[in-house]
Amino acid sequence: MTQASFFETSSEQSIVKSSIVEKYFWAWAKIMLSENPGKKIAYIDLFSGPGIYKDGIISTPIRVLQKIIKDKDMRDAVATVFNDRDTQNVTSLKQYISQLPGIDSLRYQPQVLSYEVGSQIAELLSGIDLVPTLLFIDPWGYKGLTLRLIGGVLKNWGCDCIFFFNYNRILPGLSHPNPLIQEHMDALFGHEQAESLRSRLGIMEPAAKEAEVIEELTKSLVEIGGEYVLPFCFNLLLQTVGRPTADSSRKTPGWQNLGPDATSQWGFTYAFLVGYMTGILRLHFEIRLIATLARARTAGRATRNSKTPAISDMSIHRSIR
Protein backbone atom coordinates (compact mmCIF):
# COMPACT_ATOMS: atom_id res chain seq x y z
CA MET A 1 0.00 0.00 0.00
CA THR A 2 1.28 3.45 -0.92
CA GLN A 3 0.91 6.67 1.02
CA ALA A 4 -1.58 7.94 -1.56
CA SER A 5 -3.77 4.83 -1.35
CA PHE A 6 -3.84 5.11 2.45
CA PHE A 7 -6.45 7.86 2.07
CA GLU A 8 -8.60 6.00 -0.47
CA THR A 9 -10.92 4.56 2.17
CA SER A 10 -11.21 4.76 5.93
CA SER A 11 -10.54 1.72 8.12
CA GLU A 12 -11.55 0.74 11.63
CA GLN A 13 -8.08 1.71 12.74
CA SER A 14 -8.09 5.13 11.13
CA ILE A 15 -11.54 5.90 12.56
CA VAL A 16 -10.47 4.89 16.07
CA LYS A 17 -7.25 6.89 15.70
CA SER A 18 -9.21 10.00 14.77
CA SER A 19 -11.60 9.46 17.67
CA ILE A 20 -8.71 9.15 20.11
CA VAL A 21 -7.09 12.36 18.91
CA GLU A 22 -10.38 14.28 18.74
CA LYS A 23 -11.44 13.30 22.26
CA TYR A 24 -8.04 13.88 23.76
CA PHE A 25 -7.73 17.26 22.06
CA TRP A 26 -11.10 18.34 23.47
CA ALA A 27 -10.22 17.38 27.05
CA TRP A 28 -6.69 18.80 26.81
CA ALA A 29 -7.90 22.11 25.33
CA LYS A 30 -10.61 22.52 27.98
CA ILE A 31 -8.06 22.10 30.77
CA MET A 32 -5.55 24.43 29.11
CA LEU A 33 -8.19 27.14 28.68
CA SER A 34 -9.40 26.77 32.25
CA GLU A 35 -5.82 27.22 33.47
CA ASN A 36 -5.22 30.20 31.17
CA PRO A 37 -8.55 31.87 30.32
CA GLY A 38 -8.37 33.90 27.14
CA LYS A 39 -4.82 32.79 26.33
CA LYS A 40 -3.79 31.30 23.00
CA ILE A 41 -3.21 27.55 22.63
CA ALA A 42 -2.31 25.53 19.53
CA TYR A 43 -2.90 22.24 17.73
CA ILE A 44 -0.33 21.05 15.16
CA ASP A 45 -0.81 18.08 12.80
CA LEU A 46 2.34 17.36 10.78
CA PHE A 47 0.94 14.58 8.54
CA SER A 48 -2.60 15.81 8.01
CA GLY A 49 -3.70 14.14 4.77
CA PRO A 50 -6.53 15.45 2.55
CA GLY A 51 -9.13 15.99 5.29
CA ILE A 52 -11.74 13.55 3.99
CA TYR A 53 -11.27 9.99 2.79
CA LYS A 54 -12.51 9.16 -0.68
CA ASP A 55 -15.34 7.14 0.87
CA GLY A 56 -16.62 10.37 2.45
CA ILE A 57 -15.49 9.74 6.04
CA ILE A 58 -13.90 12.83 7.58
CA SER A 59 -10.41 12.47 9.03
CA THR A 60 -8.68 14.02 12.01
CA PRO A 61 -8.08 17.63 10.83
CA ILE A 62 -11.74 18.23 10.02
CA ARG A 63 -12.94 16.52 13.20
CA VAL A 64 -10.68 18.70 15.34
CA LEU A 65 -11.79 21.88 13.56
CA GLN A 66 -15.45 20.94 14.01
CA LYS A 67 -14.82 20.61 17.75
CA ILE A 68 -13.21 24.04 17.85
CA ILE A 69 -16.00 25.70 15.87
CA LYS A 70 -18.66 24.36 18.26
CA ASP A 71 -17.03 25.87 21.36
CA LYS A 72 -16.87 29.64 21.88
CA ASP A 73 -13.79 29.58 24.11
CA MET A 74 -11.92 27.43 21.60
CA ARG A 75 -12.99 29.59 18.67
CA ASP A 76 -11.31 32.54 20.35
CA ALA A 77 -8.16 30.76 21.53
CA VAL A 78 -7.05 27.78 19.41
CA ALA A 79 -4.60 28.26 16.57
CA THR A 80 -4.28 25.29 14.20
CA VAL A 81 -1.45 24.32 11.87
CA PHE A 82 -1.79 21.46 9.39
CA ASN A 83 1.03 20.14 7.25
CA ASP A 84 1.43 17.55 4.53
CA ARG A 85 4.27 17.22 2.05
CA ASP A 86 1.83 16.05 -0.65
CA THR A 87 0.58 19.17 -2.42
CA GLN A 88 -2.58 17.38 -3.57
CA ASN A 89 -3.45 16.61 0.05
CA VAL A 90 -2.81 20.25 0.95
CA THR A 91 -5.09 21.48 -1.85
CA SER A 92 -7.82 19.05 -0.81
CA LEU A 93 -7.55 19.95 2.88
CA LYS A 94 -7.71 23.68 2.14
CA GLN A 95 -10.86 23.13 0.09
CA TYR A 96 -12.63 21.11 2.78
CA ILE A 97 -11.62 23.56 5.50
CA SER A 98 -12.99 26.49 3.50
CA GLN A 99 -16.34 24.69 3.20
CA LEU A 100 -16.74 24.04 6.93
CA PRO A 101 -19.77 25.83 8.39
CA GLY A 102 -18.58 28.41 10.89
CA ILE A 103 -14.93 28.37 9.84
CA ASP A 104 -14.94 32.18 9.54
CA SER A 105 -15.84 32.44 13.24
CA LEU A 106 -12.36 31.30 14.28
CA ARG A 107 -10.11 34.02 15.63
CA TYR A 108 -7.09 32.19 14.22
CA GLN A 109 -7.71 30.86 10.73
CA PRO A 110 -6.11 27.45 10.07
CA GLN A 111 -2.69 27.42 8.45
CA VAL A 112 -2.13 24.65 5.90
CA LEU A 113 1.50 24.08 4.95
CA SER A 114 3.43 21.71 2.70
CA TYR A 115 6.83 20.80 4.12
CA GLU A 116 8.86 17.64 4.45
CA VAL A 117 8.93 16.75 8.15
CA GLY A 118 12.58 16.52 9.08
CA SER A 119 15.42 18.17 10.91
CA GLN A 120 14.43 21.72 9.92
CA ILE A 121 11.00 21.51 11.56
CA ALA A 122 12.49 19.82 14.62
CA GLU A 123 15.10 22.58 14.87
CA LEU A 124 12.43 25.27 14.50
CA LEU A 125 10.28 23.84 17.30
CA SER A 126 13.32 23.34 19.53
CA GLY A 127 14.38 26.95 19.13
CA ILE A 128 11.16 28.77 20.00
CA ASP A 129 8.96 29.12 23.07
CA LEU A 130 5.56 27.61 22.36
CA VAL A 131 2.14 28.40 23.72
CA PRO A 132 0.47 25.26 25.16
CA THR A 133 0.46 23.00 22.11
CA LEU A 134 -0.86 19.55 21.25
CA LEU A 135 1.34 18.03 18.54
CA PHE A 136 -0.03 15.12 16.51
CA ILE A 137 2.37 12.97 14.48
CA ASP A 138 1.05 10.07 12.40
CA PRO A 139 3.66 9.43 9.71
CA TRP A 140 3.54 6.96 6.86
CA GLY A 141 6.23 4.66 8.23
CA TYR A 142 8.74 6.32 10.52
CA LYS A 143 10.52 9.01 8.49
CA GLY A 144 10.31 12.34 10.30
CA LEU A 145 9.39 10.85 13.68
CA THR A 146 12.30 11.77 15.95
CA LEU A 147 13.01 12.38 19.61
CA ARG A 148 14.24 15.85 18.72
CA LEU A 149 10.93 16.71 17.11
CA ILE A 150 8.91 15.48 20.10
CA GLY A 151 11.27 17.06 22.61
CA GLY A 152 11.05 20.37 20.77
CA VAL A 153 7.42 20.57 21.85
CA LEU A 154 7.57 18.91 25.28
CA LYS A 155 10.08 21.47 26.57
CA ASN A 156 7.29 24.00 27.09
CA TRP A 157 4.58 23.96 29.76
CA GLY A 158 1.22 22.52 28.75
CA CYS A 159 2.60 20.87 25.60
CA ASP A 160 1.67 17.27 24.82
CA CYS A 161 2.38 15.00 21.87
CA ILE A 162 0.41 12.17 20.30
CA PHE A 163 2.26 9.93 17.87
CA PHE A 164 1.63 6.63 16.14
CA PHE A 165 3.98 4.15 14.53
CA ASN A 166 3.78 0.76 12.87
CA TYR A 167 5.72 -1.83 14.86
CA ASN A 168 5.98 -4.14 11.84
CA ARG A 169 8.08 -1.48 10.11
CA ILE A 170 10.07 -0.43 13.16
CA LEU A 171 11.33 -3.93 14.02
CA PRO A 172 12.98 -4.69 10.65
CA GLY A 173 14.29 -1.13 10.59
CA LEU A 174 16.27 -1.77 13.75
CA SER A 175 18.13 -4.69 12.18
CA HIS A 176 18.46 -3.24 8.66
CA PRO A 177 22.03 -2.90 7.32
CA ASN A 178 21.25 0.30 5.36
CA PRO A 179 22.98 3.23 7.13
CA LEU A 180 20.16 5.61 6.19
CA ILE A 181 17.55 3.39 7.87
CA GLN A 182 19.81 2.97 10.87
CA GLU A 183 19.99 6.76 11.08
CA HIS A 184 16.18 6.96 11.19
CA MET A 185 16.10 4.40 14.02
CA ASP A 186 18.77 6.30 15.94
CA ALA A 187 16.72 9.48 15.58
CA LEU A 188 13.63 7.74 16.95
CA PHE A 189 15.16 5.83 19.87
CA GLY A 190 18.40 7.70 20.48
CA HIS A 191 21.72 6.27 19.29
CA GLU A 192 22.63 4.44 22.50
CA GLN A 193 19.16 2.94 22.94
CA ALA A 194 19.02 1.84 19.30
CA GLU A 195 22.46 0.22 19.53
CA SER A 196 21.44 -1.55 22.72
CA LEU A 197 18.29 -2.87 21.05
CA ARG A 198 20.21 -4.11 18.00
CA SER A 199 22.53 -6.10 20.23
CA ARG A 200 19.66 -7.81 22.08
CA LEU A 201 16.80 -8.33 19.64
CA GLY A 202 18.45 -11.08 17.61
CA ILE A 203 18.26 -13.59 20.45
CA MET A 204 14.76 -12.72 21.69
CA GLU A 205 11.41 -14.37 21.12
CA PRO A 206 8.92 -12.27 19.04
CA ALA A 207 6.74 -11.30 22.02
CA ALA A 208 9.80 -10.27 24.02
CA LYS A 209 11.07 -8.18 21.12
CA GLU A 210 7.82 -6.29 20.99
CA ALA A 211 7.87 -5.43 24.67
CA GLU A 212 11.55 -4.52 24.58
CA VAL A 213 11.13 -2.09 21.68
CA ILE A 214 8.34 -0.25 23.48
CA GLU A 215 10.32 -0.30 26.73
CA GLU A 216 13.34 1.33 25.13
CA LEU A 217 11.23 3.95 23.41
CA THR A 218 9.56 4.91 26.68
CA LYS A 219 12.98 5.27 28.31
CA SER A 220 14.00 7.63 25.53
CA LEU A 221 10.84 9.67 25.98
CA VAL A 222 11.58 10.02 29.68
CA GLU A 223 14.94 11.52 28.84
CA ILE A 224 13.45 14.25 26.64
CA GLY A 225 11.04 15.46 29.32
CA GLY A 226 7.69 13.65 29.20
CA GLU A 227 5.64 13.54 32.39
CA TYR A 228 3.20 10.60 32.62
CA VAL A 229 2.52 7.23 31.03
CA LEU A 230 -0.72 5.26 30.88
CA PRO A 231 -0.28 2.11 28.77
CA PHE A 232 -3.11 -0.08 27.62
CA CYS A 233 -3.52 -2.13 24.51
CA PHE A 234 -5.97 -3.84 22.19
CA ASN A 235 -5.39 -5.92 19.13
CA LEU A 236 -5.13 -3.04 16.66
CA LEU A 237 -3.66 -0.32 18.82
CA LEU A 238 -1.65 0.29 21.98
CA GLN A 239 -2.39 3.58 23.72
CA THR A 240 0.28 5.06 25.98
CA VAL A 241 -0.29 8.29 27.84
CA GLY A 242 2.06 10.81 29.35
CA ARG A 243 5.52 10.46 30.75
CA PRO A 244 7.00 6.99 30.11
CA THR A 245 8.86 5.06 32.75
CA ALA A 246 11.01 1.96 32.62
CA ASP A 247 8.52 0.12 34.85
CA SER A 248 8.65 -3.54 33.85
CA SER A 249 5.04 -3.99 34.96
CA ARG A 250 4.04 -2.83 31.49
CA LYS A 251 5.12 -6.23 30.17
CA THR A 252 1.77 -7.79 30.96
CA PRO A 253 -0.31 -10.48 29.27
CA GLY A 254 -1.97 -7.62 27.42
CA TRP A 255 0.97 -7.63 25.04
CA GLN A 256 -0.24 -10.99 23.76
CA ASN A 257 -3.17 -9.24 22.13
CA LEU A 258 -0.74 -7.82 19.60
CA GLY A 259 0.87 -11.16 18.72
CA PRO A 260 0.73 -13.22 15.52
CA ASP A 261 -3.02 -13.88 15.86
CA ALA A 262 -3.92 -10.17 15.70
CA THR A 263 -5.60 -9.18 12.45
CA SER A 264 -4.84 -5.83 10.86
CA GLN A 265 -3.75 -4.87 7.37
CA TRP A 266 -1.56 -2.18 8.95
CA GLY A 267 0.30 -4.55 11.27
CA PHE A 268 0.86 -3.77 14.93
CA THR A 269 0.22 -0.07 15.47
CA TYR A 270 1.27 1.68 18.64
CA ALA A 271 0.29 5.07 19.99
CA PHE A 272 1.92 7.26 22.61
CA LEU A 273 0.45 10.30 24.33
CA VAL A 274 3.30 12.08 26.04
CA GLY A 275 3.21 15.11 28.32
CA TYR A 276 2.21 16.56 31.66
CA MET A 277 -1.53 16.98 31.13
CA THR A 278 -2.02 13.34 30.17
CA GLY A 279 -1.76 12.34 33.83
CA ILE A 280 -4.55 14.74 34.77
CA LEU A 281 -6.70 13.45 31.92
CA ARG A 282 -6.17 9.77 32.67
CA LEU A 283 -9.60 8.72 33.95
CA HIS A 284 -11.53 10.92 31.55
CA PHE A 285 -9.60 9.56 28.59
CA GLU A 286 -9.83 5.89 29.60
CA ILE A 287 -13.61 6.05 29.82
CA ARG A 288 -14.07 7.87 26.54
CA LEU A 289 -11.65 5.60 24.67
CA ILE A 290 -13.52 2.50 25.83
CA ALA A 291 -16.77 4.13 24.70
CA THR A 292 -15.21 4.88 21.31
CA LEU A 293 -14.22 1.25 20.82
CA ALA A 294 -17.68 0.07 21.81
CA ARG A 295 -19.32 2.41 19.30
CA ALA A 296 -16.94 1.31 16.56
CA ARG A 297 -17.85 -2.33 17.10
CA THR A 298 -21.58 -1.54 17.31
CA ALA A 299 -21.37 0.34 14.03
CA GLY A 300 -19.90 -2.73 12.36
CA ARG A 301 -16.55 -1.15 11.62
CA ALA A 302 -14.52 -4.05 12.98
CA THR A 303 -12.91 -6.19 10.29
CA ARG A 304 -14.51 -9.57 9.81
CA ASN A 305 -11.62 -11.59 11.22
CA SER A 306 -10.47 -9.25 13.98
CA LYS A 307 -10.82 -10.17 17.64
CA THR A 308 -12.66 -8.10 20.21
CA PRO A 309 -10.23 -5.45 21.49
CA ALA A 310 -8.82 -6.38 24.88
CA ILE A 311 -7.78 -3.53 27.14
CA SER A 312 -5.32 -4.23 29.92
CA ASP A 313 -2.67 -2.74 32.22
CA MET A 314 -4.46 0.53 32.86
CA SER A 315 -2.37 1.67 35.82
CA ILE A 316 -0.65 5.04 35.59
CA HIS A 317 2.98 5.66 36.35
CA ARG A 318 4.82 8.89 36.98
CA SER A 319 8.55 9.10 36.55
CA ILE A 320 10.63 10.67 39.29
CA ARG A 321 12.96 13.39 38.09
Instruction: Fill in the amino acid letter for 263.
Output: T
Closest CA to 237 of 309, 145, 314: 309
pLDDT score of 54? 77
107: in domain: yes
With vertex at residue 225, the alpha carbon angle to CA 221 and CA 228, rounded to the nearest 5 degrees, is 75
Residue 205 domain flag: yes
Looking at residue 313, what is its pLDDT? 34
User: Which range of residues forms the domain containing residue 157?
Assistant: 3-316
More reliable by pLDDT, 224 or 129: 129
In a domain, 74, yes or no: yes
Q: Give Cα 107 to chain centroid, integer Å.
A: 26
> Residue 92 falls within a domain, yes or no?
yes
What mean pLDDT comes out for the span 60-80? 97
**Contact yes or no for 43/28 (Cβ under 8 A):** no
Q: What pLDDT shows up at residue 251?
A: 33
Q: Examine residue 321 and state whether it is found in any structural domain, yes or no.
A: no
Each residue of 81-98: pLDDT tens digit?
999 999 999 999 999 999
| Residue 308 within a domain | yes
Count of domains in the chain? 1
The answer to whether 286 touches 230, Cβ cutoff 8 Å, is yes
| Predicted pLDDT at 304 | 33
Predicted pLDDT of residue 293:
53
Q: Is the pLDDT of residue 174 over 60?
A: yes
When the pLDDT of each residue in the chain is averaged and rounded to a whole number, the result is 76
Identity of the highest mean pLDDT range in 74-83, 286-295, 299-308, 310-319: 74-83
In a domain, 241, yes or no: yes
CA–CA separation, 97 and 264 (whole Å): 31
What is the pTM (predicted TM-score) of this model? Answer: 0.78
Report CA torsion sign: 92, 268, 28, 294. positive
> Domain of 206: which CATH number?
3.40.50
Taking the CA atoms of residue 59, residue 315, residue 267 and residue 118 in that order, the dihedral angle to the nearest 10 degrees is 60
Q: Is the pLDDT of residue 141 over 60?
A: yes
CA angle 301, 270, 286 (to 5 degrees): 70
Using pLDDT thresholds of 50, 70 and 90, give the confidence band for residue 105. Answer: very high
Q: What is the pLDDT of residues 47-57, one digit of tens each?
A: 999 999 877 88
* In a domain? residue 292: yes
